[in-house]
């Protein structure tokens, strides 16, 4: 079945450094790739997304890149701040549907 | 933006009782909603798709008789955990896709509720 792998599972960076989280998906029909930030005890919050017809998207300190050929997509956070500390999940749509398969999550800790 | 609410935010119940969780789309209509379960330090696992006016569809391995879903209107879906046991203790999250009747969000995007923490003693 469809699968999304996410690495690393934990990531510690110094404040101001960059953080990169990578995901690989298996469904070649996936066309939508959102990234969510989840703080403890809360629901996921969309931070950025990308569609299959775009290779890169940026929103201030956050960027996402997509390599359809390799079925890879990555989240890049620059100039990290302590408030960026959270669990980040990638997801891939199942085909062109609203249903998602989520990655396993990355616990990001930004050290002040 | 599109907002999804859940009620209650947390609930504690005794083993064997049933618990109902509500998911509402506050400013848009949702003919489809999704229910997820998340165990501590794990990812979100899709349990079922709630469809307004028809039966829910359940993911493989999810007991439909245990997790009853009712999509009573275009803004409300409920999940009832029947005869709850300690192993059902989890964080339950609903979501609703954008687009559709109200044009909220964009195609493919899901809006997530804040989650409901269920603890079964």
B contacts of A42 (beta carbons < 8 Å): 114-115
A22's enclosing H/E stretch is: strand A19-25
What is the per-residue pLDDT across A63-100, written as a single tens digit (0 to 9) for each? 999 999 999 999 999 999 999 999 999 999 988 788 89
pLDDT of residue B101: 44
Task: Return d(Cα B1, Cα A66) in angstroms, integer.
Answer: 26
Q: Which residues contact B73 (CB under 8 A, 6 or more apart)?
A: B52
The 10 Å Cβ neighbour count of residue B69 is: 22
Establish if B58 touches chain A: CB-CB under 8 angstroms. Answer: no
pLDDT of residue A95: 84
**Cβ pair A33, A93 in contact under 8 A:** yes
pLDDT of residue B109: 82
pLDDT classification of B53: cutoffs 50, 70, 90: confident
Q: Is the pLDDT of residue B107 over 70?
A: no
Strands B90-97 and B110-112: antiparallel
What is the per-residue pLDDT across A27-41, written as a single tens digit (0 to 9) for each? 999 999 999 999 999
Q: Which residues contact A6 (CB under 8 A, 6 or more apart)?
A: A21, A22, A23, A89, A90, A103, A104, A105, A106
pLDDT of residue B106: 55
Torsion from C-alpha of A49, A56, A103, B117, nearest 10 degrees: -30
Does A96 contact B108 at a Cβ distance shorter than 8 Å?
A: yes
> Mutate which of B42, B43, B49 to disrupt the A interface (most A C-beta within 10 Å)?
B43
């Amino acid at each position: 079945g469809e699968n999304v792998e996410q690495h690393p599972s934990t990531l510690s960076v110094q404040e101001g450094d960059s953080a990169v989280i990578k995901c690989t998906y298996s469904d070649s029909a996936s066309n939508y790739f959102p990234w969510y930030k989840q703080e403890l005890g809360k629901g996921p919050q969309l931070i950025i997304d990308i569609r299959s017809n775009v290779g890169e998207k940026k929103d201030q300190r956050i960027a996402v890149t997509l390599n359809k050929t390799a079925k890879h997509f990555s989240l890049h956070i620059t100039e990290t701040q302590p408030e960026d500390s959270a669990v980040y999940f990638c997801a891939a749509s199942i085909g062109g549907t609203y249903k998602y398969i989520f990655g396993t999550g990355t616990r990001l800790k930004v050290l002040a | 933006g599109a907002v999804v609410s859940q009620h209650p935010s947390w609930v504690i119940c005794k083993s064997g009782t049933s618990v109902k969780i509500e998911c509402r789309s506050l400013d848009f209509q949702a003919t489809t909603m999704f229910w997820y379960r998340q165990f501590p330090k794990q990812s979100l696992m899709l349990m079922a798709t709630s469809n307004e006016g028809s039966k829910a569809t359940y993911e493989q391995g999810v007991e439909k008789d245990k997790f009853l879903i009712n999509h009573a209107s275009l803004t409300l879906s409920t999940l009832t955990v029947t005869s709850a046991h300690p192993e059902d203790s989890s964080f339950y999250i609903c979501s609703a896709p954008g687009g559709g009747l109200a044009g909220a969000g964009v195609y493919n995007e899901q809006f997530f509720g804040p989650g409901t923490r269920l603890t079964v003693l």
